[in-house]
Amino acid sequence: MIDPDPIARDYLLLALRLDRLIPGLVDSYFGPGWLHDQVEAEDSPPAARLREDAADLRARVEAEVAEPDRRRWFVAQLVALETQARALAGDPLRYLDHVTACFDFTPERTDEAVFAAAAADLDRLLPGDGTPADRMTAWDARFTIPPDRLREVIDALVPRFRERARSLFGLPDGEHLTVSLVRDQPWSGYNWYDGGLRSRVEINTDLPSRAADLLGVLPHETYPGHHLEHAWHEAHLVRERGRLEASVLCINAPECLLSEGLADLGRRFAIPAADEVDVLVEIYGLAGLDVARDRAAARASAEAQVAITRAAGALGGVRGNAALRRHADGAPREDVLAYLERYLLTTPERAAKRLEFIEHPLWRTYVFVYFAGERLLSRWLERVPPAEQPARFRRLLAEQLTPGAIVGELAGSAPTG
């Protein structure tokens, strides 16, 4: 790997130093090893010093970086790192201002009428008696894949998603990923990007894996989601263009909003809407589910599953609303728990797990990136005809974009740098 230019070098050093004070801030690093070794060998600077370093580097970027897209990306990322160092130094912004500074984007509350309409749709679609939450739990249980059949299902789906990604977006030469089944993790799936165009994807078997869930989780983590994004960024930005700043992936930064948004959008490219029912029926068979014994019943169940999944998708803004109630409005925990339970149509135990994420020091900011990122990028994609959407999506894989740049394009103005 070539040595980074001074701006990229100091950005990488800043991110690695801040990660020592905020463990987990660096999600992946595949830059020069000597920079990592340098940071590991030195005493950790205080947060106030790193805040100053971020501000100083931002001024240098604005004065010295000529390329508008690269300059805008650096500035947005450095505002996020400076904001996190500021909070760590004891001078935090108000919650919503902090979130806005971290993501170059201000999340909005979702009108609760949207949740009520989704609940009404689910009440109509879910079979059986009892509360919608009880019926949702019973419905999900019917399509939970036994852990000993999960490997077979994954091995059938991932090559299909890879081929779709190859045909729509291309694949960097030499990219590769592995998928492992793990236990004792808080998430359902995770992509660990190791550099060298390689990812390790882990699926947690402690949590129920339902047929419809896999059609979201696997494209999100593999193709055309996180793995393909990171591999193309390394191949194009780092190797071809020498932008070594892209060799570190930082949590609670603008790149996260776009990364999680494009990963959630991956489903629409991995599985064309017209094929969803057939793919679900195939999964039922591979998983050995009872419903697969009758082809007509399996197809009817798959059609119902597609409708239920789409209706439930409208509840994506609940967690963001709950985070704003808790951290911006100061609502008591008990009120927020009740809010999550009511609008997510879930059990008290699952609501408590959601709140645990919302209150976590690192994830209390990150909670917005999935729904807000997907909603922003959906609007951006849908500004062009369907035939042109793969080419627009590929820009997310190849360019240094920011949420602010996407908002500017939606407003009809090109980013000015």
Looking at the fold, whether 258 and 164 belong to one and the same domain comes out as yes
Q: What DSSP line would sit under 97-134, residue for residue? A: HHHHHHHTS---PPPHHHHHHHHHHHHHHS-SSS-HHH
pLDDT in tens, 136-182: 889 989 999 999 999 999 999 999 999 999 999 999 999 999 999 99
294 part of a folded domain: yes
Closest of 413, 412, 417 to residue 400, by C-alpha: 417
Query: Is 220 part of a structural domain of the chain?
Result: yes
Residue 75 inside a domain? The answer is: yes
The answer to whether 97 touches 91, Cβ cutoff 8 Å, is no
For the chain (length 417 residues), average pLDDT per consecutive 10? 88 98 96 96 96 98 97 98 97 97 96 95 93 88 93 96 97 97 84 97 88 93 98 97 97 97 95 95 96 95 95 94 97 96 87 90 94 96 96 96 97 58
In a domain, 1, yes or no: no
Predicted TM-score of the model (pTM): 0.94
Crossing angle between the packed helical segments 147-169 and 254-270, to the nearest 10 degrees = 100
Domain C-terminal end among 57, 73, 98: 98
Same domain, 85 and 117: no
Here the tokens at position 147 are 């852990």
Domain membership of residue 326 (yes or no) is yes
| Containing structural domain, residue 377 | 112-401
By the 8 A CB rule, do 257 and 103 touch?
Answer: yes
Contact between 317 and 371 under an 8 Å Cβ cutoff? The reply is: yes
Number of domains in the chain: 2
Domain boundary among 35, 67, 98: 98
**Does residue 142 sit in the same domain as residue 88?**
no
pLDDT for 415 equals 45
In this structure, the answer to whether residues 163 and 310 fall within a common structural domain is: yes
Residue 411 lies in a domain: no
Task: Annotate 256-280 with DSSP letters as a single string.
Answer: HHHHHHHHHHHHHHHS-GGGHHHHH
- Are residues 372 and 347 part of one domain? yes
- The order of strands in the sheet holding 198-204 is 176-182, 198-204, 189-195
**Do 254 and 289 belong to one domain?**
yes
pLDDT digits (tens, 9 = 90+) for 293-325: 999 999 999 999 999 999 999 999 999 999 999
Residue 260 and residue 346 in one domain:
yes
* Nearest by Cα to 114 from 336, 376, 371, 393: 371
pLDDT, position 417: 42
Rg of the chain on CA atoms, in Å: 22
- Residue-level pLDDT at 137: 86
Whether residues 89 and 117 fall in one domain: no
Q: Are residues 75 and 199 in the same domain?
A: no
Asked if 365 and 276 sit in the same domain, the reply is yes
283 sits in which H/E element: helix 276-287
Q: Is 246 a domain residue?
A: yes
Work out the mean pLDDT of the chain and round it to a whole number.
94
94 and 142 in a single domain? The answer is no
Answer yes or no: do 34 and 150 share one domain: no
Is 407 within the bounds of a domain?
Answer: no
Instruction: Answer with the one of 68, 98, 128 that is the final residue of a domain.
Output: 98
